[in-house]
Structure 1
Amino acid sequence: MKPIVEKLPLSQNTSFVARTYRTPHFEVPWHQHIEYELILFLEGEGTAFIGNYIGEFRTDDVFFLGSNLPHTFQKAHKDLVTAAVVVQFTDDFWGPGFMQLPESKSILKLFTVAMQGLNVQGAARQQLKSLLIELEHLQGFARIIRLCECLQLIATTHEYETVSTQEVKTFHAKNKDRIDRIFQFTIDNFQEPIALNDVASTAGMSVPAFCSYFKKCTKKTYVDFLNEVRIGHACKLLIDTQKTVLEISYESGFNTLANFNKQFLKLKQLTPSGFRKNFRIQEQSSYSTDEYRTLNQ
């Protein structure tokens, strides 16, 4: 299945999109668009699929995605409310030549790096949160100034992690359609048994050809990719539910508890039980810190 080519509508008074999308309008399938995207999560949590990256997203996370980088954000469970401020803009919305100005050099470099997808970290993330929330409600030239401030903040602080190793621009149309079908098939079916024959058939290839193709495109084996998707889902269940580790292993697509524990330890350097315990300790520590700050205000 080829990713949906999405384009958010502009009003007659705006040159780029900046608005909040909340369940059910937040939910979108595997998709792509020519616009660059800044996204701030206001509510909810789940799994981020960006290029060939699979990881978690939580409230207050900020991602910056390059043009035509395929992505989707799947919430942890169907009843969870999810919301995000979404900013989308083309690299020429401010007019031809703007990005070629000497003053735009750092932003142009940022756009290149964003082709890998950026997960903004540290103090920059907190600063972006307030800037993006305000951006949605600004009007006139103030909108453009605020967007420039957001981009400048990311470009100068370098407080971000690149997430995808998939080189989107190097794909020909035929190869791009194929890898997109593989990703969507995996997202749709990871909780069920997936044989290499099944996914190779989706790609229209023999198993040996498929394995070689996938490794070349994503820098990882398909089995490793599938395990990452499954472990990402398992992490959400460990955090958000009281289900046993055994129940979570099966619900995440693993056929044995032993294999689940092995793959979880390999990716997270913790056992599933250790991951759950560690999260609860961090959560309690966070609550204690917040209470301390409140008492001392």
Structure 2
Amino acid sequence: MMPITQTPEFELKDPSLDTIRCVEHGHPSPLIRWHAHDDFELHFIAATTGKVFVGDYVGTFTPGQLILTGPRLPHNWICSNDTPTVDIRDRAIQFPEDSILKAGELLPEFTQLTPLLERARSGIEFIRYPVELAQQRFEEISQASGLKRLLGFLSWLQELADWNDYRLLSTVQMNNTANEGMQQKINTVVDYINENCEQQITLHEVASLVGMSESSFSRFFRKATGNRFVEFLNRVRISRACIMLTESDEQITKICYQAGFNNIANFNRRFQELKGVTPREYRRQAQLRTAARVA
């Protein structure tokens, strides 16, 4: 029986030397940070809630979320401020891009996975995938080793390739090659924005935070996240507003200001740009989904 590896860095190899590597971590953890690497990763969120960042996408996560990220696509899951300590927050399966590509050259059957892996370069969230089934698949793969682990994982990938209820997350397919120091700067800025998005945050403020000029930071930030700074800030604020629209009965005008916008017209415009509906319609749809689950 092969144990799951709790690695100090996602980039480290599993001591088992299996091509398919299983890792997990709890909360808090140094692994909760903005980062990108050379592997595909299938993430299963076992516990906690908060914000998820994949490429230029900003959204929310809850237990049971299943997301596949492609190589060098930056990602992070940041827990809510009141999150307690948990032993297992995120379970991930890593597999290298080069091995999959080489296998495809030798075995034509592997090309059946090509559409799935190409979509993963934008990040894929599998919608309404059964939580119990995801847990079962992860347990089976993590407890196996060698060829048995590989075959089990390929079977799951084929199942996910056939899963029709999914959404692509990042609007741009990023190829982030920033070094660890640059990734840490982005992580510092993302954490700062997440913690202070309801306040007024200036470009000068965040550029100074990481010791860069405004112009250098603007170029660096857009390359790393796929967003201009103000676009990214708006995405975080809209994500915060979505939570309040779903979980509270606060007036929309009040939510506008609590999310960090300084006028309702701008809030409505940005919300519709990112979500495709007005805040009022978003709340109505959320209420309908809740009622359907209760029924």
Q: Is residue 74 from structure 1 mapped to residue 78 from structure 2 by the alignment? A: yes
Q: Deviations over 1:41-98 (max 9, x none)?
A: 233332211111112223322111112221101123432667232111223568x942
What is the TM-score normalised by the length of structure 2?
Answer: 0.73
The TM-score with structure 1 as length reference comes to 0.73
Unaligned runs of 5+ in 1: 289-297
Assess if the C-alpha contact under 8 Å between 1:187 and 1:229 holds in 2: no
Checking the alignment, whether the CA contact within 8 Å between 2:186 and 2:224 is kept in structure 1 is no
The DSSP-based 3-state class of the residue aligned with 2:287 is helix
Partner Cα separation in structure 2 for residue 185 and residue 191 of structure 1 = 15
Q: How many residues align?
A: 281
Matched, 1:51 2:28: no
Contact persistence 1:5–1:32 (CA under 8 A): no
Give 1:270 deviation, angstroms. Answer: 4.6
Task: Give the residue type in structure 1 aligned to 2:153.
Answer: L
* Secondary structure class of the residue paired with 2:51: strand
Runs of at least 5 residues in structure 2 that lack an aligned partner in the other structure? 1-7
**Is residue 118 of structure 2 the alignment partner of residue 112 of structure 1?**
yes
After superposition, the Cα gap between the structure-2 partners of 1:282 and 1:124, relative to the gap in structure 1 and judged at 3 Å, is: closer
Identity of aligned residues (%): 26
- Whether contact under 8 Å (2:34, 2:186) holds in the other structure is no
TM-superposed CA distance for 1:39, in Å, is 0.9
Deviation at 1:287, TM superposition (A): 1.8
C-alpha displacement at 1:10, in angstroms?
A: 1.7
Alignment of 1:92-171 (within 5 A): 92=98, 97-101=102-106, 102-121=108-127, 128=134, 130-157=136-163, 159-169=165-175
The CA deviation string for residues 161-181 of structure 1, in whole angstroms up to 9 with x for no partner, is 322234433x6659x977984
Superposed displacement of residue 138, structure 1: 3.1
1:252 matched to 2:256: no
1:268 maps to 2:272: no
1:215-256 CA distance string (max 9 Å, x none): 788665443332111111222244345666566444432234
The letter for the 2-side match of 1:71 is: H
C-alpha displacement of 1:159: 4.5
Amino acid at match of 1:151: L
Q: Distance in 2 between matches of 1:70 and 1:122?
A: 24
Q: AA paired with 1:185?
A: V
Choose from 218, 223, 243 the match for 1:236.
243
- CA change 1:12–1:215 in 2 (3 A) is closer
Distance 2:278 2:81 in 1: 22
What's 2:231 paired with? 224
1:165 aligned counterpart, secondary structure: coil
Superposition CA RMSD, Å: 3.9
Question: Mean alpha-carbon deviation: is it higher for 190-199 or for 36-45?
Answer: 190-199
- Higher mean C-alpha displacement, 71-80 vs 144-153: 71-80
Corresponding residue number in structure 1 for 2:5: none
